[in-house]
Amino acid sequence: MKPQSIFNKKGITLIELLVALVISAITIAGIYKIFISQTKVYNVQDQVVEVQQSVRGTMEILLRDLRMTGFDDDNANSKYTDNTPITVVNPIVTRGDNFITVSYEYFDRTVGSLGEYQLYTVAYALDGYSSLVRTRTVTKPNKTSDTRSEPLLPNVTGLNFTYGVDENDDDVLDSWVSAASVGTRRVIAVRVVLTARPDQTNLDVKKMVSPRTLDSVVTMRNLCLR
């Protein structure tokens, strides 16, 4: 029996090794491309959800204040320290096509053990950086005021208020008009159209995600249910 030489055993040739490396590189490149693509899609969808939730949350805060417009508590304890009643003289302090300021009475249960009646004046407007800002002025029973501003929503591309008016004081909405056309007619509803876009630092988001708009109507129940 002739012994076999160890030098006659076949192994992997250089060409086979190169072919294997090329196939592996192509496979890895494909997997990496899919990973990058899925990461971009995830980032875009995350920004879409974030801006939608932000617009919806901001709208809820704004509508809550509009819904409270003109509320005047008739409680006997609703008065200033000089015994004059806390009254809402001007429910809609200012109005415009892209800003509004409203006033209402609020009972703050967190003050002391019995709570405290306060007068709220709340303004909504855009600042110079396209952010929607809520400015709240609280007038306390001693008639001192505290004003604070907070940005609610960045990257706002549109804010519009349209006013529903009662033409003949029958508590029925007759027409929708701009702020300049309200005149002496009574405002009993407000339509708010708010548009915002995601942060534009991500180029993929900038290219693929359009601004999100929310359109809502609120009845100013304290101004028409009297």
Please state, for a pLDDT cut of 90, what percent of the chain lies above it: 54
Question: Quick check: is 14 in a domain?
Answer: no
Cα distance from N-terminal residue to C-terminal residue, the chain = 117
What is d(CA 191, CA 176) in angstroms, rounded to the nearest whole number? 9
Q: Measured between alpha carbons, how far is residue 170 from residues 2, 69, 88 in Å?
A: 117, 19, 22
Assess contact for 194 and 55: CB atoms under 8 A: yes
Average pLDDT, the chain: 87
Express each pLDDT in 196-221 by its tens digit: 988 766 666 666 667 889 999 999 98
Q: Measured between alpha carbons, how far is residue 130 from residues 39, 93, 98, 127 in Å?
A: 29, 23, 12, 6
Question: Quick check: is 78 in a domain?
Answer: yes
- Which pTM does this prediction carry? 0.79
Assess contact for 126 and 133: CB atoms under 8 A: yes
Question: Quick check: is 28 in a domain?
Answer: no
Task: Tell me which residue of 140, 173, 168, 138 sits closest to 65, measured CA to CA.
Answer: 138
Question: Quick check: is 31 in a domain?
Answer: no
Express each pLDDT in 13-37 by its tens digit: 888 788 888 888 888 888 877 877 7
Assess contact for 211 and 195: CB atoms under 8 A: yes
Task: Tell me which residue of 219, 157, 161, 213 sits closest to 192, measured CA to CA.
Answer: 161
Domain count along the chain: 1
What is d(CA 134, CA 62) in angstroms, rounded to the nearest whole number? 8
Q: Measured between alpha carbons, how far is residue 158 from residues 1, 123, 128, 215 in Å?
A: 94, 17, 13, 11
Domain carrying residue 97: 45-224
Express each pLDDT in 108-127 by its tens digit: 999 888 899 999 999 999 99
Question: Quick check: is 40 in a domain?
Answer: no
Question: Quick check: is 25 in a domain?
Answer: no
What letter represents residue 95's amino acid?
R
What is d(CA 194, CA 211) in angstroms, rounded to the nearest whole number? 10
Express each pLDDT in 35-94 by its tens digit: 777 777 666 677 777 888 999 999 999 999 999 999 998 888 899 999 999 999 999 999
For residue 6, what pLDDT is reported? 56
